[in-house]
Structure 1
């Protein structure tokens, strides 16, 4: 079926081959007018042909009614209009048929051939009729008028509907192309919005995981040392007041450091809440997704490149553990140099978490911290000997969540490094990590 009518936004709702009832009513009206016209023109045709008048009228009505199928069979309509041209019938059908044919999605050679046939037929009929009128004396113009009338009449009945139909068809195809492009862009925008939402959700999940690791490192280490110092403070409060005062000061300093780091992470969380809150303010989904993802990326970048721990603070970290009663030895091999902030923070956190585990599970055990600066990587190892009193993992009764080793492995793996941990043959425990320098 060939469609030449209005654009359709939904499925067909009209009868038979019409997409809409409006098109069916229009074609029915045109067919009725064409049938009346051809029926009226059938009267002189019947007289000239010498047949009964009612047969000429019936022939004209049937021929004019063919215009009803112009949308389904436009070629048939044009052929019928060409066929009844010698009878001087179907002027409306010829004009509407040529317009419909030109507006259809048919090959141009087919449209050109039928238009040429219609032009030639109209020209011949007009030439003959005008010549007969001049021969009978109805027209007294010169001989030049016969070809002039034939050419102008044929062009006037053929060119306008043909050109208008070509214009309408081209415009319809352009509108269809623009509609398809708009639909495609809408689908792409929806897909981008979904991807942005997924990326935002992934970024939020990554940020939650990162913050959970940071909070675990901060809380586990600082609070572990605070508990150890508090236990020591309780033990020496009466015997050595000066040492008790020093331990109390250390507990206060560690508590303030823990609170400072926790406030920084809570500030990152509040910044993320501000971005997510835009969703309820009518901001488009794609914009919210991209903003949330960007906020998460900025939060990670700010935390990594901000005032986080670095390798130069290892001496202070080991000093805090030594102040809590742990015997710790630090050995550094290779040329000391600076690394990317994320590399230094990860190396620091590995050592920090390993020392925290010693406080929890091997209180009083001697610990060795080794740091090696290599050409393209940095290696660290924290190894503790067997605790002096087996079975007394932590004199202070520190709890363990079991996430320390998992967090260290995730940190190192995220930078493309290698993490290994496990017990030693001597009854201690060893944590080793190698992180690429780049």
Structure 2
């Protein structure tokens, strides 16, 4: 249930404002005009109509309405030297220009009102039949009229300030909403890029293992069927693991799937080594004896770097390439994968994203990665991930 203490302020809608302005204008015009006519004051009735009628447009053209009311009030001084009903329109016009016009227009209206208070007081004293016009007689009228003008201007000015403040709050809220939407969009884009890198690593590694094993099984089938059966079992296991991880990654893109399967970490590097050896690759691995306690993100990055490096060896280093893998944990996780294969002479279609993805993973954790031909031949990948 909505808390009434925090409800939106009540405001008139467009239709309500129209009715309010109609009631205000007619409520001043009809009794004022008819009242002066019934009192035998046709000139006062006409001046009342001229002063009150412009109030109908006070929201749309406040400055022009004030100018019309002020001119009609100024014309009254030489024509009629007594107060009339239509002079109620003057403070309303002052309020309107102070609320809906630029601030200089409101200040000008206030000054005109002060001037008009002096003129009106001087004219009314004479109309009341005073034999002489003295400062002591005029002052109370000037102060009273000036106070009414000041109050009308202050109310309009305060309303304008409040509207500006509310408008600024709304603008800031809309800007904050746009920024939040943009941040969500950027976060989603980053997450999709991360998932794309993960998918690349999974697919490239799994398929490379499957291709190598399938080639070996094809050649072994004729000479050693038992070896072919074992190789096919490795292909099946690798394919299932790759499909499982692909489903987990695709689940992150679906609504309602949390993708809570555990991410591989540093301790899973041994599985990569065993898998590579099972595929026929010679791997000399130097890994920590016990699984070190490292942040999940750093462990995943190290795992993916090793995975991608072994995949590249399998794809580009050539047959009978030997791999040296070293992983150390200290102030940083350091990964080095070196092979004695073709190195810079390896053919590439130029469309691979493996090295780029590894560099991005290292950069996310404030680390560095170097990849290129190794001295003496082969290819080397060296990464450092600070803890």
TM-fit CA distance, 1:196: 3.5
Q: TM-score, normalised by structure 2?
A: 0.70
Q: Residues 99 and 404 of structure 1: is their aligned pair in 2 closer, same or farther, counting only changes over 3 Å?
A: closer
8 Å contact 1:103–1:170 — kept in the other structure?
no
Residue 322 of structure 2 corresponds to which residue in structure 1? 366
Residue 101 of structure 2 corresponds to which residue in structure 1? none
1:417 and 1:169 map into 2 onto residues whose CA distance is 65
Residue 330 of structure 1 corresponds to which residue in structure 2? 285
1:92 equivalent among 82, 85, 89: 85
1:206 lines up with 2:190 in the alignment: yes
8 Å contact 1:82–1:94 — kept in the other structure?
no
Residue 365 of structure 2 corresponds to which residue in structure 1? 415
1:260 equivalent among 230, 244, 249: 244
1:21-41 C-alpha deviation (Å, 9 max, x unpaired) = 989x98xx79x959x86x965
Q: Residues 334 and 77 of structure 1: is their aligned pair in 2 closer, same or farther, counting only changes over 3 Å?
A: farther
Q: Residues 431 and 172 of structure 1: is their aligned pair in 2 closer, same or farther, counting only changes over 3 Å?
A: same
1:99 and 1:229 map into 2 onto residues whose CA distance is 92
Residue 71 of structure 1 corresponds to which residue in structure 2? 66
1:99 and 1:191 map into 2 onto residues whose CA distance is 36
8 Å contact 1:423–1:430 — kept in the other structure?
yes
Larger Cα-atom Rg: 1
Residue 384 of structure 1 corresponds to which residue in structure 2? 339
1:379 and 1:423 map into 2 onto residues whose CA distance is 19
1:427 lines up with 2:382 in the alignment: no
1:115 equivalent among 117, 121, 124: 117
Q: Residues 334 and 318 of structure 1: is their aligned pair in 2 closer, same or farther, counting only changes over 3 Å?
A: closer
8 Å contact 1:420–1:431 — kept in the other structure?
yes
TM-fit CA distance, 1:430: 0.6
Q: Residues 352 and 120 of structure 1: is their aligned pair in 2 closer, same or farther, counting only changes over 3 Å?
A: same
Q: Mean alpha-carbon deviation: is it higher for 247-256 or for 64-73?
A: 64-73
For the residue of structure 1 that corresponds to 2:223, the secondary structure is coil
Q: Residues 180 and 373 of structure 1: is their aligned pair in 2 closer, same or farther, counting only changes over 3 Å?
A: same
8 Å contact 2:336–2:381 — kept in the other structure?
yes
Q: Residues 413 and 78 of structure 1: is their aligned pair in 2 closer, same or farther, counting only changes over 3 Å?
A: same
- Segments of structure 2 that go 5 or more residues without pairing to the other structure are 1-11, 15-20, 55-63, 99-105, 132-136
TM-fit CA distance, 1:342: 0.5
1:194-213 C-alpha deviation (Å, 9 max, x unpaired) = 33443333223222211111
Residue 309 of structure 1 corresponds to which residue in structure 2? 264
2:111 and 2:289 map into 1 onto residues whose CA distance is 84
1:404 equivalent among 329, 354, 372: 354
1:283-305 C-alpha deviation (Å, 9 max, x unpaired) = xxxxxxxxxxxxxxx87xx6xxx
Q: TM-score, normalised by structure 1?
A: 0.62
Residue 45 of structure 1 corresponds to which residue in structure 2? none
- Segments of structure 1 that go 5 or more residues without pairing to the other structure are 1-6, 10-20, 43-56, 130-149, 276-297
Q: Which ranges of 4 or more aligned residues in structure 1 deviate by more than 6 Å? A: 60-66, 333-336
Q: CA RMSD in A?
A: 4.7
1:215 and 1:98 map into 2 onto residues whose CA distance is 73
1:243 equivalent among 214, 227, 231: 227
2:221 and 2:49 map into 1 onto residues whose CA distance is 115
Matches within 5 A, 1:14-413: 33=33, 67=51, 71-72=66-67, 75-82=70-77, 86=81, 88=82, 91-97=84-90, 99-101=92-94, 104-105=97-98, 106-107=106-107, 111=113, 114-115=116-117, 118-119=120-121, 122=124, 125-126=127-128, 128=130, 163=148, 169-271=153-255, 307-332=262-287, 337-361=292-316, 362-374=318-330, 376-386=331-341, 401-413=351-363
1:365-386 C-alpha deviation (Å, 9 max, x unpaired) = 0110011222x21111100013
Q: Residues 368 and 99 of structure 1: is their aligned pair in 2 closer, same or farther, counting only changes over 3 Å?
A: closer
